[in-house]
Structure 1
Amino acid sequence: MKILVTGGAGFIGSAVVRLAVAQGHTVVNLDALTYAACLANVASVAGMANYAFEQADIRDRDALDRILAQHQPDAIMHLAAESHVDRSIDGPGAFIDTNVTGTYTLLEAARAYWERQGCPDSFRFHHVSTDEVYGSLGAAGRFTETTPYDPRSPYSASKAASDHLVRAWGETYNLPILLTNCSNNYGPFHFPEKLVPVVILNALHGKPIPVYGAGENVRDWLYVEDHADALLTVLMRGVRGRSYNVGGGNEARNIDLVKTICGLLDRHRPDAAPHGDLITFVADRPGHDLRYAIDSTRINTELGWSPSVTLEQGLEKTVAWYLGHADWWQPLLERDGVGTRLGVL
């Protein structure tokens, strides 16, 4: 299969690209190379015959039409998005621009391309989204595919809007769509503004490790390579028009996650004092959702997918990767906003 992956130089997108190429698919990586993108993420496949890169913005309809006509993909996996909640609080316009207008532009380009191809039923437009569109849970319950949307941040609102657009194009224009909503990802190549890499890198540099509020917020953690496997499973075997929740089955409070990472660093890179001494509680994020939890029953039972690693195993892999790849993350620390607290009103 030939797959066009948008956002393929980002964190999750690059994991999809690497796995798809390894599985023998032909991959066209379309990325605008914004601040969070990094071509080093796909350096391992860059020279392969079944890989191509196109620098383009999903808001650029002319570029999309040219790339689709040239490469003629069998499927589009749409992962290009602004994704950092704190940045969305400071500058929501970029999130509306990319996640809403960009998705609309891509949908229209995909629809025109699909119609020119004769509307093949085998074509798929796979939109990759987040569990944050569902809002916040209390102490009990999990998000299912029928949970009502209740986004609480500019980021999650923009992703909810893009989900609705994709469903509408499926219903109105009969575009063959698939949707997935995932829990929090972590793993190699995670841009150093998100929680897990912030903890690792601050600890390595002896800097305070910021924990929002009391650290009681709960997330379901999904190893990024498991997520990539789930996404390709849905693309290949998912039912047209259907949505699938993808979770790691690994709920943890933020404070417990941070302490686990500090314990791993104490073992792998011992310092004079325990790394946990660097934990610093800071003012909470505005509108910080209390708990996310994914019910993955549909993808488990219908498609036979389940995560391959526990949170403990995945964090061990992740810490080891960051310890061995300073050449990857060191240059990224100089990028705009990295290392600065964002999203403070």
Structure 2
Amino acid sequence: MTSLLVTGGAGFIGANFVRQTVEQHPEYTHITVLDKLTYAGNADNLKGLPDSKVTLIEGDICDAELVDALVKDHDITVHFAAESHNDNSLNDPFPFVHTNLIGTFVLLEAVRKHNKRFHHISTDEVFGDLELDDPNRFTETTAYKPSSPYSATKAGSDHLVHAWIRSFGIQATMSNCSNNYGPYQHIEKFIPRQITNILAGLTPKLYGTGEQVRDWIHVDDHNDAVHLILSKGKIGETYIIGADNDHVNNKQVIELICELMDLDANAYEHVADRPGHDMRYAMDSTKLRTELGWAPKYTDVDSGMRKGLEQTIDWYRDNEAWWRGTKDNVEATYAKQGQ
């Protein structure tokens, strides 16, 4: 009987992880979600899950007393909680420093005190970016070179985890994943924004020229990898998670979305680009594939994303009540930024 504490489990990736765990991993007898329920966390993301399996606690990972009690009472902590929107980090970096650094520190201290298993979720953005014509990919040994307050604070949290592993011997693993997409993603993000624009009768928006490459991965593939790391990963190790979609740029993504939603492939408009927008991310997941046997399910030889985008479009079409209430505010915010 194994219990899980999932921080940020009401957010996009975390909620999908919780749902996948309930549906596919009976070895976990109970899951407690600790989530601050900020704008990106939504209790409705966990709607329909059995109370006997999942408990939601609204709280802050920076609350040391609360975190200590929860970590003590659970066998494994999976740490998704983070401030994660690049644009927001440019407007106000402080919440990113507070949550991503102080929150991770608080968790690590509780894990150290109670000798519990810990997995830290991180991002490819800690490595900076690559030139569009650079054939290299990020690996577990790539030097960190963050370029925004968001990625800098995530890099800092990664360094804390590494330091606690080496200095205190905590039972931890870590993963760095490329950009996720899929159900329950906040509609301020690139892919769901375009999908919901079309569903709402609005024009899709492409930032800048759209040459940026993100090595997109479906959230279910990411979470499959996390579960493999929990069950088979080596303590102290870091694993890169990527779906080999680094041949697909954002222009191709938006064109495929238009095509799949029965629009002309060019039925979008160009808007102002993000300041300091990273150009290319590419992940080398060889270690994860060869050592743990992971492979993505939502990857094909055509676009690398068709199957995953079809599933994602269907979800947003079928769950309009989930996103419709926030759509106007999201678009108003982007309009102020010329986007």
Q: TM-score, structure 2 length as denominator?
A: 0.92
Cα distance between partner residues in 1 of 2:32 and 2:294: 25
Matched, 1:178 2:173: yes
Q: Tell me the residue number matched to 1:55.
A: 58
Is 1:28 the counterpart of 2:29? The answer is: no
Q: Quick one: which of 320, 328, 332 aligns to 2:326?
A: 332
Counterpart amino acid of residue 28 in structure 1:
T
Which of the pair has the greater relative contact order for Cα pairs under 8 Å at 6+ separation?
1
SS of 1:49 mapped into structure 2: coil
Aligned to 1:290: 279
Aligned counterparts, 1:145-164, within 5 A = 145-164=140-159
Quote the Cα distance in structure 2 between the aligned partners of 1:33 and 1:169.
28
Q: Which of 214, 226, 231 lines up with 2:226 in the alignment?
A: 231
What does 1:123-272 align with in structure 2 at a 5 Å threshold? 123-138=116-131, 139=133, 140-251=135-246, 252-266=248-262
Decide which of 297, 313, 321 is 1:319's aligned counterpart.
313
* Pair 1:61–1:241, CA change in 2 (3 A): same
Provide, for residues 75-102 of structure 1, a one-character-per-residue CA deviation record: whole Å limited to 9, x for no partner: 1100000111111111111111111111
Give deviations 1:115-174, integer Å, cap 9, x for gaps: xxxxxxxx4210000001011112211110001000011111110000000110111111
Whether the 8 Å contact between 1:286 and 1:344 is mirrored in structure 2 is: no
The whole-number CA distance in structure 2 between the counterparts of 1:84 and 1:6 is 17
Deviation at 1:338, TM superposition (A): 5.8
Given the alignment of the two structures, is residue 15 of structure 1 paired with residue 16 of structure 2, yes or no?
Answer: yes
**2:256/2:265 contact within 8 Å kept:** no
Which residue, out of 255, 262, 279, partners 2:268? 279
Q: Tell me, what secondary structure is at the counterpart of 2:216?
A: strand
Distance in structure 2 (CA, Å) of the matches to 1:41 and 1:141 = 37
Structure 1: distance between partners of 2:233 and 2:157 = 20
- The CA deviation at 1:213 is 1.3
- The one-letter code sitting in structure 2 at the alignment partner of 1:74 is D
Runs of 4+ more than 6 Å apart? none
Task: Note the C-alpha offset of 1:334.
Answer: 5.9
> Does residue 1:89 correspond to 2:84, yes or no?
no
Q: What one-letter code is carried by the residue in structure 2 that aligns with 1:215? A: G
The whole-number CA distance in structure 2 between the counterparts of 1:339 and 1:293 is: 32
Q: Tell me by how many angstroms 1:190 deviates.
A: 0.8
User: Residue 338 and residue 171 in structure 1: after superposition, are their counterparts in 2 closer, same or farther (change >3 A)?
Assistant: farther
Aligned residue identity for 1:60? D
Q: Secondary structure at the match of 2:325?
A: helix
**Inter-partner Cα distance in structure 2 for 1:188 and 1:17:** 13
Structure 1 stretches lacking a partner, 5+ long: 115-122, 267-273
Question: Is contact 2:5-2:70 (8 Å) kept?
Answer: no
Q: CA contact under 8 A between 1:286 and 1:343: conserved in structure 2? A: no
Alpha-carbon distance between aligned partners in 2 of 1:112 and 1:342, rounded to the nearest angstrom? 48
Counterpart code for 2:313? V
- Check conservation: 2:258, 2:266, Cα contact below 8 A: no
The answer on whether the counterparts of 2:6 and 2:33 sit within 8 Å (CA) in structure 1 is yes
CA contact (8 A) 1:59 1:102 kept: yes
How many residue pairs get matched? 326
Give the alignment's TM-score, normalised by structure 1.
0.90
Q: Which residue of the other structure, out of 269, 281, 288, is the alignment partner of 1:299?
A: 288
Which amino acid letter does the alignment assign opposite residue 222 of structure 2?
A: H
Q: How much is the aligned-residue C-alpha RMSD, in angstroms?
A: 1.7
In structure 2, the gaps of 5 or more residues are 300-304
Partner residue of 1:271? none
The answer on 1:112 being equivalent to 2:116 is no
**d(CA) in 2 for partners of 1:75 and 1:9?**
17
Q: Which amino acid aligns with 1:176?
A: Q
Residues 21, 194 of structure 1: alpha-carbon distance in 2 compared, 3 angstrom cutoff:
same
Q: Match for residue 37 of structure 1?
A: 41
Distance 1:144 1:228 in 2: 19
